[in-house]
């Protein structure tokens, strides 16, 4: 579903935020993108969604090249950013209408989706209010609803659990599973390793712009020859990467 | 005091950054280009102001009224500081993102206000340096003034914006004190902005008309020498007359005394502002950014309305328009100014006239001019109408800040499945719609008062599409090169954004290129219509072609 080939990106100087990474995210899986702060997760996601242009390499989404067919690619995914502070002066219902019109969601389907998603995320009693009056978590939920309104084949979520209350986090995890089970794809970044461990089919660990590991949790356990938690293996990977980086 | 200085330094540091268009070398190149353009514009403005004031000096000196030029400059400077100050003060005192960070700190209200006043003053000095300082330097050179004149000029320049800025602050502090009483704070803040501007206009023109002199006074003043003529123009703010005195009197001791009095008034104004700030600021600012929520379910009618599909272009346009109107800072700087410029021009004419009979005479004169059988008046009015459209479109700063207003959420423009061209077109259309509304207001007012023939009204309308599209399309170019996306408060996107200044300069330049020849070369109405109406549409078409060509590259280069 997502293919990255030798993708690199640097911000001005010589330090590469993303350094020649290769990644394959398969259709019908939940793929967790893990890494410490500043590892390159958000930069990678921004390149996949077209917010940033890679310095080199190719990105294919659903077999389509983002540079050649940007609109078709953008129609195929729903993106939830790590910062949900957008359009605070709009009412929530106006934001959803905006998203519905931009993604050309048919009227009947739109009404159905708004009702279903707002009820699931307990936002149905706040849709007439301005986004400005929402808490961080409520804004996050609204972003998720907006991104899923057109029922995209691919969900790209940047730290989606941040600020969500336990019920909404549970609902989102359930929805991610149902999405993957229906043959669609979820690609998300997270700091919460417990979540990754529980819901992901496969994960990639990135640090200092390089992919340190890509595979299932079972693969990781085999690689580390231990039955440890994802947290302990993650820490070992990152510590090893940091030591190697310092020595270099 | 130490806290005030420390805070001012922090706020100054925060107000300088914000240009971005890609990273690294590309960014540096882009910033270098921006710097060159800014310097060019500053030199151009200084040159224009110097040249025009040199002409004015010669004209006034012929009648021995050269000191009137100092009075005019000082008055113009203080009025500009006061009117722009209202907008700055409301935005910087009440709507900047730093307020929620400052309120929990152990700071007094007057320390916060003092630091914010310093930041506001910095921008006012920039305006004064470009608009008021050059004519005063020209005055010094032409009148062969000695070194002492320039020393007094330095003192006057430093003190000049203090009183009007403090008055603007006091007015805003008084109005915004009532914010907590309003249920819908955003709406109150917008109404407060309108009220503050109207009071400001009322104050400026009210004091001018109160200080109005009849013809006899005028004759006496002119005959009694140029020093007293300066009084004509300096009755607006307390202390303005002392500023003029410090620059025009011939005795150094008297000049020094005048400067001392100006300093005294400035100190009183600052102390009064600080005192009022202690009394009123926290009461008004706490909770100013909160938004009321009703927390109610959508009715079935609202749900079906939300479900009704619309065009992506229209919904995008609507989103931009809603944000413009609902964000107090954008509303005051872009939307309100769009409608206030005509008031700015019309009010002085009305208050400057000696009464109803004078206004009536003025209107009769204008009607006669429009009915000129040679068509000179009609041609002139078409060119002026075109220039007004360009001016309002170029000065409202809507398209000139179209990308900057998105701030860090600019990424939305990059991820939605709507072509960049259609998005930019929607933004230009939003700017054009507000410009049209702002232009139609004075135009229809003029049509109602002057009662021109129908063909002339149609001609006025015919020059609007080009007169509005040309500056709006021009304005978006600067945004594509230097969008100001990293800001903590909305003020930076619209007021502390050089693109607005560049867009204004381009609009005025294009307006002058097309509107001046018909006036200077006495074109017929048809010729004027063709040059302004059709000529501007051709320029707009060329801008569109260039825009389409550069858009993909520029958009890719903008990395939020």
Tokens 């009694």 belong to which residue? B224
Q: Do A87 and B323 touch (CB under 8 A)?
A: yes
Find all residues with CB under 8 Å of B426, minimum gap 6, and list them.
B313, B316, B317, B320
- Give the largest Cα separation in chain B, rounded: 80
Cα A81 to Cα A166, B92, B487: the distances in Å are 19, 29, 19
**What are B276's two structure tokens?**
């009022």
Tally the domains of chain A.
1
Residues of B in Cβ contact (< 8 Å) with A105: 309
The pLDDT tens digits along chain B (560 residues) read 677 888 888 887 766 544 344 445 556 666 677 777 778 778 877 887 888 888 888 888 887 778 888 888 888 888 888 888 887 888 888 877 788 888 888 888 999 999 999 988 988 898 888 888 999 999 999 888 888 899 999 999 999 999 999 999 999 999 888 877 776 767 777 787 788 777 777 776 666 565 554 545 555 555 555 455 455 555 667 788 888 888 888 888 888 999 999 999 999 999 999 999 999 999 888 877 676 677 777 777 777 777 777 899 999 999 999 999 998 889 988 998 888 776 666 655 554 444 455 567 777 777 887 877 777 888 989 999 999 999 999 989 999 999 999 998 899 999 999 999 999 999 999 999 999 999 998 898 888 888 888 999 999 999 999 999 999 999 999 999 989 888 878 888 887 788 988 898 889 888 889 988 988 888 899 999 999 999 999 999 999 999 999 999 888 888 87
* Burial (CB count <10 Å: 0-12, 13-18, 19+), residue A14: exposed
Residues A60/A48, Cβ–Cβ less than 8 Å: no
**What are A59's two structure tokens?**
């990105």
Of A53, A98, A107, the CB nearest to B319: A98
Q: Do A114 and B308 touch (CB under 8 A)?
A: no
Residues of A in Cβ contact (< 8 Å) with B559: 51-53
Neighbouring CB atoms inside 10 A of B198's CB total 14
- To 10 degrees, the CA torsion angle through B411, B415, B416, B419? 90
Q: Is B60 left (phi over 0), alpha (psi -120 to 50) or beta?
A: alpha
- Continuous segment of H or E residues that includes residue B215: helix B215-223
- The pTM score is 0.81
Residues B284/B276, Cβ–Cβ less than 8 Å: no
Residues of A in Cβ contact (< 8 Å) with B295: 125-126, 129
Residues of A in Cβ contact (< 8 Å) with B311: 101
Whether B319 and chain A come into contact, CB under 8 Å, resolves to: yes
> For the residues of B471-521, what is the DSSP string, one character each?
HHHHHHHHHHHS-----SSHHHHHTS-HHHHHHHHHHHHHHHHHHHHHHHT
Q: Is A37 left (phi over 0), alpha (psi -120 to 50) or beta?
A: beta
Residues of B in Cβ contact (< 8 Å) with A86: 409, 412
Q: Do A93 and B302 touch (CB under 8 A)?
A: yes
Whether B291 and chain A come into contact, CB under 8 Å, resolves to: yes
CATH of residue A158's domain is 3.40.50.300
* A80 beta partners: A157
Q: Do B322 and A46 touch (CB under 8 A)?
A: no
Whether B553 and chain A come into contact, CB under 8 Å, resolves to: no
A87, A101, A117, A134: which to substitute to probe chain B, counting the most B Cβ within 10 Å? A101
Domain containing residue A61? 2-247
Of B293, B415, B418, the CB nearest to A126: B293
Cα B15 to Cα A240, B89, B149, B409: the distances in Å are 42, 15, 33, 20
Of A81, A89, A97, the CB nearest to B315: A97
Distance of alpha carbon B435 from the chain centroid = 14
Chain B: residue nearest A11 by CA?
B23
Q: Do A10 and B23 touch (CB under 8 A)?
A: yes
């Amino acid at each position: 579903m997502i293919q990255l080939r030798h993708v690199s990106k640097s911000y001005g100087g010589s330090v590469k935020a993303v350094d020649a990474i290769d990644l394959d995210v398969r259709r019908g899986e939940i793929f967790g993108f893990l890494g410490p702060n500043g590892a390159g997760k958000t930069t990678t996601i921004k390149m996949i969604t077209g917010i940033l242009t890679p310095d080199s390499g190719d990105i294919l989404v659903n077999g389509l090249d983002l540079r050649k067919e940007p609109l078709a690619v953008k129609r195929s995914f729903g993106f939830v950013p790590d910062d949900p502070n957008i359009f605070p002066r709009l009412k929530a219902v106006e934001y959803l209408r905006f998203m519905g019109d931009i993604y050309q969601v048919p009227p009947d389907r739109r009404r159905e989706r708004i009702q279903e998603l707002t009820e699931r995320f307990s936002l149905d009693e706040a849709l007439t209010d301005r986004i400005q009056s929402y808490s961080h978590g409520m804004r996050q939920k609204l972003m998720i609803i907006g991104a899923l309104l057109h029922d995209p084949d691919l969900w790209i979520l940047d730290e989606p659990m941040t600020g969500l209350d336990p019920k909404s986090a549970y609902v989102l995890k359930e929805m991610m599973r149902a999405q993957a089970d229906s043959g669609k794809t979820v690609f998300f970044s997270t700091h919460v390793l417990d979540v990754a461990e529980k819901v992901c089919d496969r994960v990639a660990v990135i640090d200092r712009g390089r992919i340190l590991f890509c595979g299932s949790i079972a693969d990781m356990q085999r690689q580390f020859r231990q039955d440890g938690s994802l947290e302990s293996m993650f820490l070992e990977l990152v510590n090893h990467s940091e030591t190697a980086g310092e020595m270099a | 005091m130490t806290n005030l200085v420390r805070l001012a330094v922090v706020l100054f540091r925060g107000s300088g950054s914000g240009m971005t268009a890609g990273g690294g070398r590309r960014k540096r190149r882009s910033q270098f280009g921006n710097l060159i353009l800014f310097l060019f514009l500053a030199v151009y403005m200084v040159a224009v102001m110097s040249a025009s004031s040199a002409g004015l000096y010669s004209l006034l000196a012929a009648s021995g009224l050269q000191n009137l030029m100092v009075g005019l400059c000082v008055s113009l400077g203080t009025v500009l500081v006061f009117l722009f100050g209202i907008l700055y003060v409301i935005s910087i005192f009440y709507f900047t993102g730093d307020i929620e960070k400052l309120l929990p700190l152990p700071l007094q209200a007057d320390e916060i206000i003092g630091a914010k006043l310093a930041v506001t003053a910095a921008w006012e000095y920039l305006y004064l340096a470009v608009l008021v300082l050059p004519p005063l330097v020209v005055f010094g050179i032409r009148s062969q003034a000695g070194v002492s004149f320039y020393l007094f000029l330095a003192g006057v320049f430093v003190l000049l914006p203090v009183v009007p800025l403090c008055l603007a602050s006091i007015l805003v502090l008084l109005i915004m004190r009532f914010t907590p009483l309003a249920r819908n704070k955003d709406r109150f803040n917008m109404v407060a902005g309108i009220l503050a501007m109207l009071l400001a206009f009322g104050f400026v023109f009210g004091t001018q008309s109160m200080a109005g002199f009849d013809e006899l006074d005028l004759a006496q003043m002119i005959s009694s020498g140029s020093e007293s003529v300066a009084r004509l123009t300096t009755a607006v703010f307390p202390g303005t007359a002392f500023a003029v005195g410090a620059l025009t009197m011939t005795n150094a001791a008297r000049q020094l005394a005048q400067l001392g009095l100006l300093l005294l008034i400035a100190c009183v104004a600052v102390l009064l502002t600080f005192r009022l700030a202690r009394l009123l600021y926290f009461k008004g600012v706490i909770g100013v950014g909160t938004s009321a929520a009703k927390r109610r379910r959508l009715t079935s009618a609202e749900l079906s309305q939300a479900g009704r599909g619309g065009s992506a272009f229209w919904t995008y346009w609507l989103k931009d328009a809603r944000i413009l109107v609902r964000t107090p800072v954008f509303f005051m700087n872009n939307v309100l100014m769009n409608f206030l410029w005509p008031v700015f021009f019309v009010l002085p004419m009305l208050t400057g006239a000696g009464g109803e009979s004078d206004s009536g005479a003025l209107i009769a004169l204008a009607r006669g001019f429009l009915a000129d059988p040679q068509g000179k008046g009609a041609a002139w009015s078409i060119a002026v109408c075109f220039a007004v459209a360009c001016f309002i479109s170029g000065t409202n700063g809507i398209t000139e800040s179209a990308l900057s207003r998105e701030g860090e959420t600019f990424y939305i423009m990059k991820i939605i499945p709507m072509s960049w061209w259609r998005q930019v077109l929607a933004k230009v259309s939003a700017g054009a719609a507000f410009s049209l509304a702002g232009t139609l207001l004075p135009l229809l007012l003029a049509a109602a008062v002057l009662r021109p023939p129908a063909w002339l009204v149609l001609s006025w309308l015919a020059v609007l599409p080009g007169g509005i599209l040309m500056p709006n399309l021009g304005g978006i170019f600067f945004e594509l090169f230097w969008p100001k996306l990293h800001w903590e408060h909305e003020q930076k996107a619209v007021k502390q954004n050089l693109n607005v200044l560049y867009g204004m300069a381009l609009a005025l330049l294009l307006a002058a290129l097309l509107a001046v020849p018909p006036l200077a070369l006495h074109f017929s109405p048809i010729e004027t219509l063709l040059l302004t109406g059709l000529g501007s549409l051709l320029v707009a078409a060329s801008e569109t072609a260039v825009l389409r060509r550069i858009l993909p590259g520029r958009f890719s280069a903008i990395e939020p």
